[in-house]
Chain A
Amino acid sequence: MLHNKSFVKKTKGGKVMKQVREHYLRDDIYCGAPFCTVCDSSAARLGASPSTILIVDTNVVLNQIDLLENPAFDNVVLLSIVLEEVKNKNMSVYNRVRSICSNSTRKVFVFSNEYHRDTYVKEMSGETKNDRNDRAIRVATQWYQNHLGGDVKVLLITNDKENKRKACEEGIFAETVESYVKSLDRSDLLDLLVRPASEDVDMEEVEDLRPSKRKVIYSEHKPMSEITSGLHRGIYHQGKLRVNRHNPFEAYVGSESIGDEIIIYGRSNMNRAFDGDIVAVELLPQDQWQEASSLSIAGEEDEDVDEGVHLAPNSADHAPRTIPQQGSSEKVNAASNRPSGRIVGIIKRNWHSYCGSLDPMPMPAGSGGIAHALFVSKDRRIPKIRIQTRQLENLLDKRIIVAVDSWDRQSRYPSGHYVRTIGEIGDRDTESEVVLIENDINTRPFSSQVLACLPPLPWSVSSEDLSNPIRQDLRHLRVFSVDPPGCKDIDDALHCHTLSNGNFEVGVHIADVTNFVHPGTPLDDEASQRGTSVYLVERRIDMLPKPLTEDICSLRSDVERLAFSVIWEMTPEADIVSTRYTKSVIKSSAALSYVEAQARMDDSRLMDPITADLRNMNILAKKMRLRRIERGALTLASAEVKFQIDTETHDPLDIGMYQIREANQMVEEFMLAANVSVAEQILKTFPLCSLLRRHPTPTREMLEPFLRTATAVGLHLDVSSSKALADSLDHAVGDDPYFNKLIRILATRCMSQAVYFCSGDLSPPEYHHYGLASPLYTHFTSPIRRYADVIVHRLLAASLGISKLPSVFQDRLQLTNISDNLNYRHRNAQYAGRASVELHTLIYFRKRPTDTEARIVKIRSNGFFVFVPKYGIEGPVYLTKADKGSGEWYVDEQQQKIKKMDGSLSYSILQTVQIHMEVVEPQPNRPKLQLTLI
């Protein structure tokens, strides 16, 4: 049966076009009930003998998706018209619904009512689209009821009063979500319900426990039309809101229209916007532009911003963001030149669900009823969220996920609803999952489409690979790898042998991942999305499926593997005479750990060829390193810690600083050299579409706090160039051996992180990598765990004429998107890694209160921050009680000291203090690590 649908479409040019689309109506669309005698039931998904079949309308799907995701909500028919409407309104909800539909354990069936001969409805004249769709839903419900007969109750779930009324008139069973869920008598399901913000549904017995005096807290959001015209006229500015990770009362909106960042201070100026929302900002008058005063450790307003113990930051991205302070005097309230603004409207919400826990609260009298609780997200950028629950006692000690529903002007906090429980607070598995969810890390197993892209196992180098003219047979070379102990994803290996002319041939062999990951395949898409492997303390989340990561690509010893090799001829002085790149077949003769390699080099009795190679390479590497440092590369330091994990319980047994050996530095040196060589080669061939990595020169503002600290301890640092800084750092020797390292650690955390970029987006001077003092840099050496390296492999192969450049590279915009995603994934992976270490630190100290040495790194008005070198953590030490004023102590900004009023005691920056570390539970189930002065 054929039916033509026509509609009017407005084109970009303002032209009006009539569009006609064919629309075929079918008689072979089945109802999906296995007990149906008429329909083909091979694809049936509903239960065998359900008492009720639910049909939900669009708004129920949009608003109550968390409820739909609950397996208890079953025997649901989703109409295609509903899915279509959901898709148009909210893509992320649509994707969630679709994944419910494809989950074979759920009894959810999609009925294509729009294509069914009997359920398709034609628009009636004068009927709006919504009315027509509502009617379509009712017609389909009616059809189901007639089709399945009286044994099954077909229930339409709708919160639309009008629709419900019409349904009842037409003799269809209809109920609101609330009344249906209530009839199920499941309190956990009731929690999943989104409270309607409007008067759409009569809320019968939900008594409002909130203060009855509801006053308006936030100013109104401007209507969209006003925002559009305001943006047009330049009164408002559009941008994405980014909330300061370390101070949720401060946010930034990067605005293209004024070419600068607008600072938003305080919740009322933020006006209910969330991190990531696209907002419209109005600039405040210049005399209201202000600076943040961040002198106190504890927070502002009524919420206590709890600056707990955390891992010492190793770059500016992890460190609290500091606004440059003009002059060194405190309480600068004079007008600043950084534009401040307030948010007048939200163009696009970035609401999703958040991980966290409930604010501890006493059980309300008469348990079992509805309790109102405040949810605190782990992500401090997110405000507290008000939720209602009927299972308060169950949730108080749990990590839960909560979704935001609305935020009206009268309430200080947004309201949301409970989605699901992850587990108990403090439990290692729970907290690990929280870390992953919070950092948007995909831990789902690889899909079957992705796995279908893998070569059949067991895989081995084939004769075609060997005879392939692009691939050089390097199996005769003495290749070996040096990695951390237990490393399974070995992506690099080395060789080194002496040439007849006295020079050395040094080769870096990188796993040939692009031989298996082809552009445009599901495998490639997945890897591109994941961007990087994520390393947590106790587990690894791979970018590529395990067979590739651990076997086919991994350059394990004594097996033939495919590689992409960079081979240099070097003089004994480590000058590069020539460089060549080739795909190759290698056979690693040894997979060494750093410790083993170091031991071999140190053991003068060993004279075997591999040890000799190692020693030669080490000599070369030292020379290369020296030269690099002379050029101005910074020897930066970070306090990385290493856990020893109990293999049984996965609990940390011991914790200590990660030791860096010569062998590490040697491998690192050759990897750096390979990356630089490859960067030069790809940029030469593809000046506009190469993927490079740059490290921006830190601005004076960023270095400011560090310089103030240095001046306070009488150190003069020259930061005019990386070379000058490197030299200054070399000369910074204090009275104790750790002083230099400490200064380096402090310097490192002032710098931002290196980022990926597309060479066409920037000009060559901006390509500079500050930390390595290299004009060009990229990532080539870890394609198994980083997608950037996969891209660089393809670029290199294309530059050598081995393969064609995939079409993505012709699309600059897409390339920029890819590099943005890589940066995002990379940063998240690091956040996750750090969060995992923090978590294990807490678990470790839970049973082991410890006294240790610490260094003061930051002075505050009521205490100071200390850095604990041994465990790589940093945290506050309070000199006064948090609730008391800071009257007893005063801060000497100039000398970076905090002194007692009577002068009896003073602490200065970088001073060594003895502290006691202990895990305390100030509130039940909220363990935290506390540092106290001994």
Chain B
Amino acid sequence: MEFVSPEGLRLDGRRPMEMRQIRAEIGAVSKADGSAIFEMGNTKVIAAVYGPREVQNRSQQISSHALVRCEYSMANFSTGDRMRKPKGDRRSTEISLVIRQTMEACILTHLLPRSQIDIYVQVLQADGGTRSACINAATLALADAGIPMRDFVTSCSAGYLNSTPLLDLNYVEDSAGGPDVTLGILPKLDKVTLFQMDSKLPIDILENVMQLAIEGCKAIASYIREILLENTNQLEYRRGV
């Protein structure tokens, strides 16, 4: 299968180093303490943050820092073939764990002892790169909830098909069976917090693919920063500051 034409265009018309269109919106769930919608092309996720609040289950309370919990779920209509999946299947449990660990690493949990932060991510549409979109949405939702963080985490994926590193794989490219590298970085600290890859890849190529994913993360970071700034400006404006 030809994923990159000899003219250098991918199936959806992007060039190998281009990301899909991204869009973010803060405050989609007004009842939540913080929430955001994040879209990468046709992948669309909602994240809602509840907390910091009292620990619901006393036995889980941690006296030195906050308890961070995360649940990932996919809407029935999020994939092409409609399927009613029970909550908590292996894949969503794994992704929940990945998101929780990634977010926990950047939340200053020691500032919020004996409290609980819940992150709920709901996939409305899946078209490749859901993990990354979830993490980006969660970052925005946490920021919206005003939870203290070291830096915000941004994530992006990259793959390698037809001997070309490709940024931000969509579903078709992801299903090609090639390697898919999902990376999460702390842009200000310039550190990698999340790194996952399936399939195999020679090390020297991995380096290129990883570098590409990092570039993607940085681009998302600057977009997220913009969105947050705009949101803050609006908040100021509403308060009449």
Q: Which A residues are within 8 Å of any B CB, using their own CB?
A: 2, 4, 11, 15, 17-26, 80, 87, 98, 101-102, 110, 112, 114-115
Contact = CB atoms under 8 A, between A and B. Distances in A.
A24 B14 contact: yes
A21 B12 CA distance: 7
Contacts of B9: 80, 112, 115
A22 B170 contact: yes
A25 B12 CA distance: 9
B81 A24 contact: no
B21 to A, nearest CB: 5
A484 to B, nearest CB: 40
Contacts of A22: 12, 20-21, 41-42, 127, 170
Most B Cβ at <10 Å: residue of A2, A22, A23, A114: A22
Of all A-B residue pairs in the complex, the 4 with the closest CB atoms, nearest first, are: A24-B13, A115-B13, A22-B12, A22-B41
Given A22-B41, A110-B5, 20 more contacts: A2-B21, A18-B80, A20-B42, A21-B11, A21-B12, A21-B170, A21-B172, A22-B21, A23-B12, A24-B13, A24-B21, A26-B13, A80-B9, A101-B6, A102-B6, A110-B7, A112-B5, A114-B13, A115-B9, A115-B13
Contacts of A25: 13
28 contacts: A2-B21, A4-B42, A11-B81, A15-B81, A17-B81, A18-B80, A19-B80, A20-B42, A20-B127, A21-B11, A21-B170, A22-B41, A22-B42, A22-B127, A22-B170, A24-B12, A24-B21, A26-B13, A80-B7, A80-B9, A101-B6, A102-B6, A110-B5, A112-B5, A112-B7, A112-B13, A114-B13, A115-B13
Contacts of A101: 6
Contacts of B6: 98, 101-102, 110
Contacts of B2: 87
Contacts, number: 46
Interface in B77-126: 80-81
B15 to A, nearest CB: 8
A84 to B, nearest CB: 9
Contact of B80 (A17, A87, A114): A17
Contacts of B172: 21
Interface string B34-50: 00000001100000000
Contacts of A2: 21
A115 B15 CA distance: 11
Contacts of A115: 9, 13
Nearest to A807: B200
Nearest to A87: B2
A243 B92 CA distance: 57
Interface of B: 2, 5-7, 9, 11-14, 20-21, 41-42, 80-81, 127, 170, 172
Contacts of B11: 21
Contacts of A110: 5-7
A87 B6 CA distance: 14
Contacts of B7: 80, 110, 112
Contacts of B12: 21-24
Nearest to B171: A21
Nearest to B11: A21
A24 B41 CA distance: 10
A117 to B, nearest CB: 10
Given A102-B6, A112-B5, A23 B13 contact: yes
Nearest to A21: B12
Nearest to A114: B13
A110 B9 CA distance: 12
A80 B42 contact: no
A530 to B, nearest CB: 21
A26 to B, nearest CB: 6
A111 to B, nearest CB: 8
Contacts of B41: 22
A13 to B, nearest CB: 9
A930 B170 CA distance: 68
Contacts of A102: 6
Contacts of A23: 12-13
A21 B10 CA distance: 12
Contacts of B14: 24
A140 to B, nearest CB: 14
A115 B21 CA distance: 15
A129 B12 CA distance: 19
Contacts of A11: 81
A20 B12 CA distance: 11
A32 to B, nearest CB: 10
Nearest to A9: B80
A864 B191 CA distance: 86
A20 B172 CA distance: 11
Contacts of A4: 42
A98 B41 CA distance: 30
B10 to A, nearest CB: 9
A19 B13 CA distance: 17
A102 B127 CA distance: 33
A92 to B, nearest CB: 15
Contacts of A18: 80
A610 B214 CA distance: 63
Nearest to A84: B5
Nearest to B125: A20
A112 B11 CA distance: 11
A26 B80 CA distance: 27
A517 to B, nearest CB: 16
A456 to B, nearest CB: 16
Most B Cβ at <10 Å: residue of A11, A24, A80, A87: A24
B23 to A, nearest CB: 10
Most A Cβ at <10 Å: residue of B5, B6, B172: B5
A17 B42 CA distance: 16
A697 B117 CA distance: 76
Nearest to A111: B7
A855 B92 CA distance: 81
A25 B42 CA distance: 15
A22 B81 CA distance: 18
A21 B5 CA distance: 17
A112 B7 CA distance: 8
Contacts of B80: 17-19
Contacts of A15: 81
A15 B5 CA distance: 30
A2 B20 CA distance: 9
A214 to B, nearest CB: 44
A98 B80 CA distance: 33
A17 B80 CA distance: 6
A803 to B, nearest CB: 15
B36 to A, nearest CB: 21
A20 B81 CA distance: 12
A18 B79 CA distance: 10
B166 to A, nearest CB: 14
Nearest to A2: B21
A22 B9 CA distance: 13
A433 to B, nearest CB: 29
A36 B9 CA distance: 22
B77 to A, nearest CB: 11
Nearest to A17: B80
Contacts of A24: 12-14, 21
Contacts of B170: 21-22
Contacts of A80: 5, 7, 9
B27 to A, nearest CB: 24
A17 B2 CA distance: 23
A539 to B, nearest CB: 32
A110 B81 CA distance: 36
A101 B5 CA distance: 12
